[in-house]
Amino acid sequence: MPTRMQASQGRGAPFLTACSLLPPWWTVPVGPPGAEDSSCGLCCPRAGGPRLPHPFAYSACLEVAMLMLLVFGILLHGISLSSQEEASPEAHGIPGEPLFNYASIRLPEEHIPFFLHNNGHIAKVCKKDSHCPYKKHLENLKYCWGYEDSCRPEFRFSYPVCTYVDMRWTDTLESAQDTFWNQADFGYAGARLRELRVLCQPEQTSDSSLVCSRYLQHCRAANLYLDLRNIRRNHDRFKEDFFQTGQIGGHCKLDVRALMSEGQRKSPLQSWFAELQSYTQLNFRPVEDAQCDVVVEKPAYFMKLDAGVNMYHHFCDFLNLYITQHVSNSFSTDVYIVMWDTSSYGYGDLFSDTWKAFTDYDVIPLKTYDSKRVCFKEAIFSLLPRMRYGLFYNTPLISGCQNTGLFRAFSQHVLYRLNVTQEGPKNGKMRVTILARSTEYRKILNQNELLNALKTVSTFEVQVVDYKYKELGFLDQLKITHNTDIFIGMHGAGLTHLLFLPDWAAVFELYNCGDERCYLDLARLRGVYYITWQRQNKVFPQDKGHHPTLGEHPKFTNYSFDVEEFMYLVLQAADHVSQHPKWPLKKQHDEL
């Protein structure tokens, strides 16, 4: 491995004031006495934003602003983190060439105005650049995801829909909508932003820094030092005492009390507290004093991963990485993903193609750096897959609400980056996909009988698929799912594919095996129609089930289903699809 990983170079530095580079919640200018409107005033945090430990004099304006930028790892308001080519509103490119590498943005067309809202430097260049492909979006710069302080409610990406009030949570539809927004939509990202606090304060621009959200569920570090020369590995993937004092840290003023107060949710997949509790205030500058065997120049996302063989659990990893990108205001793929694993084992990943939506490089196991002192110029500790009140594993959700913009945007983002496109529907047909199981349990015993019944409907185009990774690659699986209008399957991780159904689609969990909330809630989050079997006298288990330790269990047997009841439910799903405002054949469809 080379001793220094080089980051891509930009075309030039923006001619922007230090204050203007700060994110929205830092941009209240306060000048010296008698100069309240001065553009070179001290940049002070707004109420609710992160606060530095002590005030600074006006004479230190520029230095303070740069320190603030360093603390939050957002030098040039996210350009440094994203490693996207820097853009200057004053730049004059070579005639005939664009002033910015717009292809590096790589976002769905629908997301572009929201990206430009948060990256005003790129919007300014686009206005001046005749080659900019996004000029039509410059009229919509008020559009926003919803977590920005500058975001007006009417310009949010979307609003959840609530049809009734869950009195256990609130008493009005409006407050129900707000509750759901904050639980599982972009309001959740906003809450993480507002929680950020400085735990290790830099005193010079070459210093380190550490900024974290509550309970250390997400952190940002600059010039992070890791000493892995004497690391001991065993079978434990998330060893709590992996680092000792002095083996992880940075050159900054550490607030030990504040750091140690965040340990209430110390748990492998809920917090980074175990990994950062040994963070040390070092007496040397790791990079500047040449104390690193390896310097990682590109931004690096640290992730503790859930089960890579289970789509439901693994996509909690990917969703939380996507939320972390929003919190960091960077969607660049010119970044590293470092898998934080303290064991000596490998990691089985059946969905590794998905990483291409987030990075241009192979995932790097932490053990790659063993026996070395490694310094990360920019390190981002990603939100984790099993956080209490996190997303989406066991998330407590208010009932009666559905359709989060966050999950829809995640679906669009992944599909766009993986080049999975919508290719239909065609010939006036509604595409029905049955997800078969080749596992020992939860098989559909009369699957052929159900299939033959579906084929009697002339407007159905029916297929049966078995998403076995050895026979059908994950990208091919996604292409089938995204080109399905009614998705039918037994309870199981394969139903996580509902995240990538088109907006008008319906998912039919044929039988939930007593786990009523799992895929119902996931469908609500994604915003697709959900139905499941209701009449217990028309479903026929093979036996009472045979859990290895718990005995009788409905998930550990196979099932047959009443054909007439099955068709009734499928036609109910078809009616929803045909009436959906986004259904491409809505005007033509009348047979169902």
Reported as a single tens digit per residue, the pLDDT across 331-387 is 999 999 999 999 999 999 999 999 999 999 999 999 999 999 999 999 999 999 999
Q: Could you give the dihedral angle defined by the CA atoms of residues 48, 189, 215 and 242, in that order, rounded to the nearest 10 degrees?
A: -140
pLDDT tens-digit map of 382-430: 999 999 999 999 899 999 999 999 999 999 999 999 999 999 898 889 9
| pLDDT greater than 60 at residue 80 | no
Assessment of whether the complete model's pTM goes beyond 0.85: yes
DSSP designation for 8: P
How many whole angstroms separate alpha carbon 375 and alpha carbon 224?
5
How many whole angstroms separate alpha carbon 449 and alpha carbon 563?
7
pLDDT tens-digit map of 243-297: 999 999 999 999 999 999 999 999 999 999 999 999 999 999 999 999 999 999 9
CA distances in angstroms from 130 to 385, 440, 450, listed in the order given: 43, 60, 57
How many whole angstroms separate alpha carbon 455 and alpha carbon 463?
10
Q: Could you give the dihedral angle defined by the CA atoms of residues 500, 504, 510 and 515, in that order, rounded to the nearest 10 degrees?
A: 60
Q: What is the mean pLDDT of the chain?
A: 87
What totals of helices (H) and strands (E) does the chain contain, helices first? Answer: 14, 23
- Residue of 103, 116, 106 whose CA lies nearest to 145: 116
CA distances in angstroms from 7 to 10, 150, 554, listed in the order given: 9, 31, 53
Q: Are strands 219-227 and 209-212 parallel, antiparallel or unpaired?
A: antiparallel
Angle among Cα 403, 406, 410 to the nearest 5 degrees reads 110
How many whole angstroms separate alpha carbon 172 and alpha carbon 165?
6
Give 92's pLDDT tier (boundaries 50, 70, 90).
low
How many whole angstroms separate alpha carbon 393 and alpha carbon 314?
10
H helix intervals, 230-310: 256-260, 273-276
| pLDDT greater than 80 at residue 79 | no
- 3-class secondary structure, 276: helix
CA distances in angstroms from 12 to 15, 89, 96, 100, 479, listed in the order given: 9, 10, 18, 10, 40
How many whole angstroms separate alpha carbon 12 and alpha carbon 332?
18
How many whole angstroms separate alpha carbon 200 and alpha carbon 70?
11
